[in-house]
Structure 1
């Protein structure tokens, strides 16, 4: 610890800071990150966290490489990731209202499984 840090007065927590601090319940309702996914896989399968991380990373790598190759990836109960072609089109630049040509390309699409859609 530096001398300067030791002399700094403690800051009072503002009421807004207390509200913004994430709680366990709030993190469950929000986004699940890779580390939370690894923890959930470890808990559900009985694997170690290191083994679970290797499994999650391997599965994600396989899915990403398949989508990059133009293949569809079906995830039972969740949905399907696929690559869709986009047509060339004319667009308008927002700042100047100038017409621009947008080239054809590809995008990743996700179609939710009907079972999941019905349960939402």
Structure 2
């Protein structure tokens, strides 16, 4: 009888395992996806998911357009997006060790607000 109960419990265990793995994976995830962001906006504001999606899209579009124009975009409590100039420099091509000239350009920079930095040290 012990063999049958062992086999039965062994068969039941794999069916129960996927759920904890899924929960563990979502708990360990370090990225908030856009769909999760839309869901949270909908919950906090009482908007429908479609309306929240439109609001999130509009917000992101405004931030991107501001940065494209070379403007700094400040988000109180979060930080500031800005465009920074990069100088021309000499680099090394990986694998061949060939010296190459990297032209000057622009990059997007983000400086976190002090309130966000403070919130990182305080657990919820």
Per the normalisation by structure 1, the TM-score is 0.77
Match of 1:61 in 2: 61
Which consecutive unaligned segments of at least 5 residues does structure 1 have?
1-12
CA distance in 1, matches of 2:112, 2:85: 19
- Could you tell which deviates more after superposition, 103-112 or 27-36? 27-36
Given the superposition, is the C-alpha separation of residues 77 and 29 from structure 1 closer, same or farther in structure 2, using an over 3 Å criterion? farther
1: CA distance, partners of 2:67 / 2:85: 13
Count of residues paired in the alignment: 106
- Partners of 2:29 and 2:86 lie apart in 1 by 34
Shift of the 29–85 alpha-carbon distance from structure 1 to 2, 3 Å rule, reads same
Q: How many angstroms apart in 1 are the aligned matches of 2:45 and 2:62?
A: 20
Q: Name the CA distance, whole Å, in 1 between partners of 2:100 and 2:86.
A: 16
Q: Which has the higher helix share?
A: 2
Aligned to 2:105: 105
Moved more, 76-85 or 20-29: 20-29
RMSD: 2.5
